[in-house]
Amino acid sequence: MTFRMFVGVVSLVAFSASVASAETSAPQTGSTPGPYPVAAELAFVDGVQKDLMHRFPTVAAAVKAGYFRYNNEDDSGSISYANLQWQSADPQHPSQLWYDVNGSLLGADFSVLASESATAPALWGVDARRWFFGGAHIHYILERQGGAETYGYVRSKKFLAAGGNMANPDAATLVKLGVVSTVGEVKRIFLFPRVWDLTVWVKPNPNGAFAYMNPLVTPSANGGKSSMP
């Protein structure tokens, strides 16, 4: 499950005991408001849509700015790119951008480190209940024969049990876990820290800028499938 998929699930149901484990303990934000922005949120949504579509219309623009792909296409047709900057200082600095399989910009995530905010943030006129808490976990990118990438993640409890260091994760722990045979297969490994996360569509969405699905986006045949080894 990608982080965006996790947010989509949480937006439909309350945090369950399986989600609120030791790695995801944080205050809850209460019931989720509807997917359409209210008056106080329109300036944020309009500003983000105009700004990000201008600066990051394609994957190439995102990569040039330091973003990299770290997961598969989810069931909404989105592929996420992160820049490892998990504290969004303003609406001009999303922590993630999402693109379709053709490389066109779809939306963005904004993040606030849980270590910096014990409760859901109240920023930019956006209802604090739109921010969802995500626990720390480890993401990795594997490079297969021919240069193809495979994406996956490990929950913190499992990673720590194998002797891994969450603050400084290394490929050797993935070998211990049986994810790979050698460290040379690991192209990148990184910590996705505990954050409050806000997702918003940049592409116009008839379902609302804060909805999970967008009827104007058609996922490919691989949408929602996992390539985890």
**Residue 104 binned pLDDT confidence (cut-offs 50, 70, 90):** very high
57 within some domain? yes
200 within some domain? yes
Determine the pLDDT at residue 32.
78
The rounded mean pLDDT for the chain is 89
224 within some domain? no
Q: Which residues contact 157 (CB under 8 A, 6 or more apart)?
A: 21, 22, 23
Identify whether residues 38 and 109 lie together within a single domain: yes
Rg (alpha carbons) of the chain, rounded to whole number: 17
With a pLDDT cut of 90, the percent of the chain lying above it is 82
Give the domain extent around 97.
Answer: 1-13+34-135+194-213
Give the chain's domain count: 2
Q: Is the pLDDT of residue 2 over 60?
A: no
201 within some domain? yes
- Angstrom distance (rounded) from CA 182 to CA 207: 45
- Angstrom distance (rounded) from CA 148 to CA 85: 25
DSSP 8-state assignment for residue 7: H
Identify whether residues 127 and 89 lie together within a single domain: yes
Nearest to 156 by CA among 145, 147, 165, 143: 165
Mean pLDDT of 164-186: 97
Identify whether residues 172 and 109 lie together within a single domain: no
Identify whether residues 69 and 182 lie together within a single domain: no
Q: 9-18, 39-48, 61-70, 168-177 — which is least confidently predicted?
A: 9-18
- Neighbour-count burial of 57, counting CB atoms closer than 10 A to its CB (0-12 exposed, 13-18 middle, 19+ buried): middle
- Angstrom distance (rounded) from CA 35 to CA 107: 14
Identify whether residues 4 and 85 lie together within a single domain: yes
105-149 tens-digit pLDDT? 999 999 999 999 999 999 999 999 999 999 999 999 999 888 899
191, 111 Cβ separation under 8 angstroms:
no
Determine the pLDDT at residue 11.
44
Identify whether residues 79 and 5 lie together within a single domain: yes
Identify whether residues 84 and 128 lie together within a single domain: yes
Identify whether residues 63 and 5 lie together within a single domain: yes
3-54 tens-digit pLDDT? 565 555 444 333 333 333 334 444 445 677 999 999 999 999 999 999 999 9
